[in-house]
Amino acid sequence: NAGVTQTPKFQVLKTGQSMTLQCAQDMNHEYMSWYRQDPGMGLRLIHYSVGAGITDQGEVPNGYNVSRSTTEDFPLRLLSAAPSQTSVYFCASPAPRDNSSGANVLTFGAGSRLTVL
Protein backbone atom coordinates (compact mmCIF):
# COMPACT_ATOMS: atom_id res chain seq x y z
CA ASN A 1 0.00 0.00 0.00
CA ALA A 2 1.20 3.49 -0.86
CA GLY A 3 2.04 5.61 2.12
CA VAL A 4 4.52 7.13 4.54
CA THR A 5 6.65 4.97 6.82
CA GLN A 6 8.36 6.33 9.93
CA THR A 7 10.91 4.72 12.23
CA PRO A 8 11.34 4.36 15.13
CA LYS A 9 7.87 4.48 16.71
CA PHE A 10 9.29 5.23 20.16
CA GLN A 11 12.63 6.59 21.34
CA VAL A 12 14.03 7.79 24.65
CA LEU A 13 17.11 9.99 24.61
CA LYS A 14 19.25 11.72 27.20
CA THR A 15 19.89 15.44 26.90
CA GLY A 16 22.73 16.07 24.46
CA GLN A 17 22.39 12.81 22.55
CA SER A 18 21.83 12.81 18.81
CA MET A 19 19.54 10.69 16.70
CA THR A 20 17.81 10.49 13.34
CA LEU A 21 14.13 9.93 12.69
CA GLN A 22 13.63 8.13 9.41
CA CYS A 23 10.86 8.80 6.90
CA ALA A 24 10.22 7.03 3.61
CA GLN A 25 7.38 7.48 1.13
CA ASP A 26 6.43 5.33 -1.87
CA MET A 27 4.00 7.77 -3.49
CA ASN A 28 6.73 9.23 -5.70
CA HIS A 29 5.89 12.81 -4.69
CA GLU A 30 8.44 15.61 -4.62
CA TYR A 31 7.07 17.22 -1.45
CA MET A 32 7.87 15.88 2.03
CA SER A 33 7.60 17.51 5.42
CA TRP A 34 8.15 17.03 9.13
CA TYR A 35 5.72 18.21 11.82
CA ARG A 36 5.81 18.01 15.58
CA GLN A 37 2.67 17.71 17.68
CA ASP A 38 2.46 18.95 21.25
CA PRO A 39 -0.60 19.14 23.53
CA GLY A 40 -2.56 22.33 22.91
CA MET A 41 -0.21 23.43 20.10
CA GLY A 42 -1.51 21.51 17.13
CA LEU A 43 0.82 20.34 14.38
CA ARG A 44 3.74 22.67 13.68
CA LEU A 45 5.92 22.47 10.61
CA ILE A 46 9.63 21.87 11.28
CA HIS A 47 11.21 21.47 7.84
CA TYR A 48 10.00 20.62 4.38
CA SER A 49 11.41 19.68 1.01
CA VAL A 50 10.08 20.26 -2.49
CA GLY A 51 12.48 17.81 -4.12
CA ALA A 52 15.81 16.02 -3.87
CA GLY A 53 18.52 18.45 -2.81
CA ILE A 54 16.02 21.16 -1.79
CA THR A 55 14.99 21.80 1.81
CA ASP A 56 13.55 24.77 3.67
CA GLN A 57 12.61 25.77 7.18
CA GLY A 58 9.14 25.68 8.60
CA GLU A 59 7.72 27.29 11.69
CA VAL A 60 9.96 25.63 14.33
CA PRO A 61 13.27 24.57 12.69
CA ASN A 62 15.73 25.25 15.51
CA GLY A 63 17.54 22.18 16.83
CA TYR A 64 16.68 20.07 13.78
CA ASN A 65 18.54 19.26 10.61
CA VAL A 66 17.28 17.68 7.38
CA SER A 67 18.61 16.55 4.04
CA ARG A 68 16.97 15.12 0.92
CA SER A 69 19.24 12.98 -1.19
CA THR A 70 16.47 10.88 -2.78
CA THR A 71 12.79 11.38 -3.62
CA GLU A 72 11.81 8.58 -1.23
CA ASP A 73 13.64 9.53 1.99
CA PHE A 74 13.59 12.57 4.24
CA PRO A 75 15.41 11.99 7.55
CA LEU A 76 15.13 14.40 10.49
CA ARG A 77 18.21 14.78 12.67
CA LEU A 78 18.44 16.00 16.23
CA LEU A 79 22.07 16.97 16.75
CA SER A 80 21.92 17.60 20.51
CA ALA A 81 18.57 16.63 22.00
CA ALA A 82 16.89 18.88 24.57
CA PRO A 83 13.87 18.18 26.82
CA SER A 84 11.92 20.79 24.80
CA GLN A 85 12.13 18.41 21.85
CA THR A 86 10.02 15.82 23.65
CA SER A 87 7.12 15.47 21.25
CA VAL A 88 5.41 13.30 18.68
CA TYR A 89 6.89 13.73 15.23
CA PHE A 90 5.02 13.17 11.99
CA CYS A 91 6.34 12.93 8.48
CA ALA A 92 3.93 13.77 5.65
CA SER A 93 3.79 13.70 1.88
CA PRO A 94 0.90 14.35 -0.54
CA ALA A 95 -1.26 11.46 -1.60
CA PRO A 96 -1.56 10.75 -5.34
CA ARG A 97 -5.16 12.07 -5.51
CA ASP A 98 -6.03 15.76 -5.78
CA ASN A 99 -2.73 16.74 -7.41
CA SER A 100 -4.66 18.50 -10.21
CA SER A 101 -6.09 21.03 -7.74
CA GLY A 102 -2.66 22.26 -6.74
CA ALA A 103 -3.60 21.75 -3.10
CA ASN A 104 -1.68 19.32 -0.93
CA VAL A 105 -3.69 16.47 0.55
CA LEU A 106 -1.06 15.30 2.97
CA THR A 107 -0.74 11.67 3.99
CA PHE A 108 0.86 11.26 7.40
CA GLY A 109 3.00 8.54 8.85
CA ALA A 110 2.04 6.82 12.10
CA GLY A 111 4.32 9.07 14.14
CA SER A 112 7.50 8.79 16.21
CA ARG A 113 7.15 9.49 19.92
CA LEU A 114 10.35 10.99 21.30
CA THR A 115 11.14 11.55 24.96
CA VAL A 116 14.23 13.52 25.97
CA LEU A 117 15.26 13.15 29.60
Partner 1 sequence: EDQVTQSPEALRLQEGESSSLNCSYTVSGLRGLFWYRQDPGKGPEFLFTLYSAGEEKEKERLKATLTKKESFLHITAPKPEDSATYLCAVLGSSNTGKLIFGQGTTLQVKP
User: According to CB under 8 A, which one of 2, 15, 18, 41 is a site residue for partner 1?
Assistant: 41
Using CB under 8 A as the binding rule, whether residue 79 contacts partner 1 is answered as no
Shortest CB 11 distance to partner 1, Å: 15
Window 96-115: residues binding partner 1 (CB under 8 A): 98, 101-111
Residue 22 binds partner 1 (CB under 8 A): no
State yes or no: residue 77 binds partner 1 (CB under 8 A).
Answer: no
**Spatial distance between the Cα atoms of 112 and 107, rounded to a whole number of angstroms:** 15
User: What's the rounded Cα separation, in Å, for the pair 59 and 9?
Assistant: 23
For 21-90, the three-class secondary structure string (H helix, E strand, C coil) is: EEEEECCCCCCEEEEEEECCCEEEEEEEEEECCEEEECCCCCCEEECCCCCCECCEEECCCCHHHCEEEE
Nearest distance in Å: CB 25, partner 1: 13
- Please give the residue ranges that form the binding site for partner 1 (CB under 8 A): 4, 31, 33, 35, 40-45, 48, 50, 58, 90, 92, 95, 98, 101-111
